[in-house]
Amino acid sequence: MSAEDVVVLVDSIEAAGIDVWLDGGWAVDAALESQTRPHDDLDLVVELRNVARLQEALEDRGYLLAGGAPPKSFEMTDSEGRQVDVHPVAFSDSGDGVNLMDSGREWIYPAAGFSGTGRVLDRYVLCLAPEVQILCHAGYEPHRASYDDVWALSRRFGIAVPDAHRRSRETYPLREE
């Protein structure tokens, strides 16, 4: 999923009147305003009531449902192998985004997380705020890309690093910038 692909998709989704927030690796790069690594997919957070319209917008660009189904997270891919992972949320009265996970548990995106903005190429985008991006990386042993993402956000925005990422420093020493 190239930066150009991201911009084209976000443009077409917003043209359909749908707000989406970048999540995952592209959200990190948007917040940093620089692509730090290649990405296999694009993670989007969208309000549950807009999922059908989002699916239509993606289908218009050649994407088809490849796995999962609303109201839980799902994946759509195109014939070129590009993948969009969609994370639907229902907003609570406090503004938190509630995502129903496959396990039946709820993942809560804190309301403050929806205030993030960033840039992909020269295009400003909505993305999860850096603090929430780091929160999304907590609770599991990180892989290399996750580790690098968390440390890059931490350094740029002065955010504390989750314990699992601190413990992984021996496995993944910090890359030079």
Joined together, the tokens standing for residue 167 give: 């413990």
pLDDT at 149: 84
- Quote the pTM value: 0.90
pLDDT at 10 over 60: yes
**Same domain (yes/no): 63, 146:** no
Domain, as residue range, for 145: 137-177
**Same domain (yes/no): 42, 81:** yes
Distance CA 153, CA 118 (A): 12
**Same domain (yes/no): 92, 152:** no
Q: DSSP strand E in the chain: where?
A: 20-23, 41-47, 64-68, 74-77, 83-91, 97-100, 106-109, 117-120, 123-126
- Give SS3 for 90: strand
CATH classification of the domain holding 83: 3.30.460.40
Tabulate helix, strand, coil % of the chain (nearest 5): 35, 25, 35
**Same domain (yes/no): 150, 81:** no
Mean pLDDT to the nearest integer, 130-139: 83
- H helix count then E strand count, the chain: 6, 9
Please provide residue 105's backbone torsions phi and psi, each rounded to the nearest 5 degrees: -75, 165
pLDDT tens digits, 24-57? 999 999 999 999 999 999 999 999 999 999 999 9
Q: Which of 32-41, 119-128, 148-157 has the least mean pLDDT?
A: 148-157
Mean pLDDT to the nearest integer, 58-66: 97
**Same domain (yes/no): 123, 149:** no
Domain boundary among 130, 146, 162: 130
**Same domain (yes/no): 114, 146:** no
